Structure 1
């Protein structure tokens, strides 16, 4: 371990089980929409590419999340493990949200994550596409917050 007192299990190298756990912990965190809390999962020197926006460092990542969740209302996210190796995890995900005019969207994406030895994410590369949907097309209808354990995942929903 490094001298950093921040440790975020599970730690790399990942097993199939610990990679699934890391993905679910990330999903649960993002579904809180608490930028200050979520940003603690990232190293102080984290580097992000999210769409065409870049964040360097935890403070910029937190500011990005604050802007994101101020715009993307009623945000609900599902992540799914795609691949893992050593200290890297690949995920696919979808989230639903509405804008301040009441327009609904489902955003689809893929992320590549790289973790330091303390389990903090040091690199995050995200590619995302937004698809307008109607309110009746929504699939993510649980109360805001953590997705219930019995709610279907992406594969079960055919996404």
Structure 2
């Protein structure tokens, strides 16, 4: 049996906001192992044009992501919720090894199991090159 990751569905506005904040906090650690613990063992992801299944693939993806996306900082905002699903909008900023800054915007649709682990994550993301002066996501 899987460990529980409260808050658990069905979500209220308060518990959905808590879940979103917990996700933001975890992703901002840039620790792939920690982040992956919020997902089911067989979690299904779509991240842009990449399709993943399971924690091992999630860890490998995030390890590579944060090797390339330096200074990564993320903000998430609750968009909608119902039962075992949450939708969020997000933006994050990072720079590459050449020092060029980028901001990524997007939406995610999440579905959770009864233990509060995310079993599906579908992310649509757009990127924008920015200057260091245009950064706005808190450091």
TM-score normalised by the chain length of structure 2 = 0.98
Which of residues 75, 91, 97 is equivalent to 1:100?
97
Give distance in 2, aligned partners of 1:47 and 1:61.
9
Which of residues 113, 135, 151 is equivalent to 2:132?
135
Give distance in 2, aligned partners of 1:51 and 1:118.
27
Unaligned ranges ≥5, structure 1: 143-159
Give distance in 1, aligned partners of 2:17 and 2:44.
22
- 1:76 is matched with 73
The reply on whether 1:35 has 2:32 as its aligned counterpart is: yes
Aligned length: 139
Aligned in 2, Cα 1:120/1:76: closer, same or farther, shift over 3 Å?
same
TM-score normalised by the chain length of structure 1 = 0.86
- 2:50 is matched with 53
Give distance in 2, aligned partners of 1:18 and 1:141.
24
- Equivalent positions of 1:8-27 (< 5 A) are 8-27=5-24
- 1:151 is matched with none
- The CA RMSD measured in Å over matched residues stands at 0.7
Unaligned ranges ≥5, structure 2: none
